[in-house]
Amino acid sequence: MTALDSRPTDAAIVPPRTGRRYNPDKRRSILLTVLLWLCVLYFVLPIWWLLVSSTKDNSTLFSTFGLWFGGDFSLFENLQTLFTVRDGIFVRWLVNTLVYSVSAALGATVLATMAGYAFAKYDFPGKKALFSATLGAVMIPLTALALPTYLLFSQAGLTDTPWAVIIPSLVSPFGVYLMRVYAADAIDDSLLEAARVDGAGEFRIFRQVGLRLLGPGLVTVFLFSLVATWNNYFLPLIMLNSSDLYPITVGLAQLQAAASAGGGSQALFSTVITGSFVSILPLVIAFLFLQRYWQSGLASGGVKG
């Protein structure tokens, strides 16, 4: 920190990182580059279309070329309509989505981390059976569960409440699997032994040693659960009745249904499109920022499969 300190910093001592491994030749291929970027168009153009279309009003939407701007620039009018339609319910949907997915993802991450850590670092009777049950659960189809869960929740008076969306989303068998693989790799048994010799309790070891080493794994599980809940449509669709409680997916589907039904609400098309565009921004931004972390988290999960 101090200017007087003239010793070379770590960065200067450590040689520049040469690729993690052997690289036959650094030649770049023009052909491959062109091919890949052409493919990228397929993935990007629909989103580009969404962006362009959210700047059009309802009539230019259908009268101009879809992949380029045309007519007046109506983005701000569209946003204004979007945020005021039905007394600003769109903001409500955004907030609902955020609340549901963040709380579900936090909960799922905590549960999966504790369970994965236990599977990776302890021996106990029943370990194999419990882990097999967890893995098997990855394959249970949503429908087989959604219907009876709905009935159970309605008997408990929990349908049409946020809990109906959050609680079922807390179970992430894939998260447990990922955390197990990640913890097995990232946490050295000798560290745990050392902490035990020092007299630390198991929970303290988990908090102070385990959690610190599980960073990328935590981010990966958190992101996957976040996306799963954020993008979920089926569960909130059957659980919720009041549109005040809808997440963005169900809300947009409802707006779209109203728009397709036609009638007087023609203007809704551009509202649906602008709403779709606004709704994907938060996740796309989150992905850009967090990509470094989840990738190393996934790296171990993918190989040991």
Q: Please state, in angstroms and rounded to a whole number, the distance separating the CA atoms of residues 25 and 2.
A: 42
**Cβ distance to other proteins smaller for residue 12 or 197:** 197
CB of 66 to other proteins, least distance (A): 3
Nearer to other proteins, 91 or 152 (CB): 152
Among 233, 241, 244, 266, binds other proteins (CB under 8 A): 233
Task: Indicate the residue among 73 and 287 with the shorter CB distance to other proteins.
Answer: 287
CA distance 41 to 262: 32
CB of 67 to other proteins, least distance (A): 5
Residue 8 or 15 having the CB closest to other proteins = 15
Q: Considering only residues 18-47, where is the footprint of other proteins by CB under 8 A? A: 19-24, 27-29, 32-33, 35-37, 39-40, 42-44, 46-47
Residue pair 72/295 in contact (Cβ under 8 Å)? The answer is: no
Q: Which of residues 65-94 bind other proteins (CB under 8 A)?
A: 65-67
Question: Cα 68 to the chain's mean position, in Å?
Answer: 30
Span 130-149, contacts to other proteins by CB under 8 A: 130, 133-134, 137-145, 147-149
CA distance 189 to 198: 14
Q: Residue 70 — φ and ψ, nearest 5°?
A: -165, 155
State which residue, 125 or 263, has the beta carbon closest to other proteins.
Answer: 125
Q: Interaction with other proteins in 158-217: which residues (CB under 8 A)?
A: 167-168, 170-171, 173, 176, 191, 194-196, 198-204, 206, 208-209, 212
Instruction: Work out how close the CB of 40 gets to other proteins at its nearest, in angstroms, rounded to a whole number.
Output: 5
Q: Which of 1, 3, 12, 284 binds other proteins (CB under 8 A)?
A: 284
**Least distance to other proteins, CB of residue 103, Å:** 13
CB closer to other proteins out of 3 and 303: 303
Q: How many residues bind other proteins (CB under 8 A)?
A: 115
Site string for other proteins, 101-120 (x = CB under 8 A): ---------xxx-xx-xxx-
**Residue 215 CB, nearest distance to other proteins (Å)?**
14
112-128: buried (b, 16+ CB within 10 Å) or exposed (e) per residue? bbbbbbbbbbeeeeeee
Closest distance between other proteins and the C-beta of residue 8, in Å?
A: 26
- As a whole number of angstroms, the distance between CA 139 and CA 133 comes to 10
Which residues within the stretch 46-65 sit at the binding site for other proteins (CB under 8 A)? 46-47, 49-50, 53, 61-63, 65
List binders of other proteins among 243-282 (CB under 8 A). 248-250, 252-253, 256-257, 260, 272-273, 276, 279-280
* Minimum CB–partner distance for residue 178 and other proteins (Å): 10
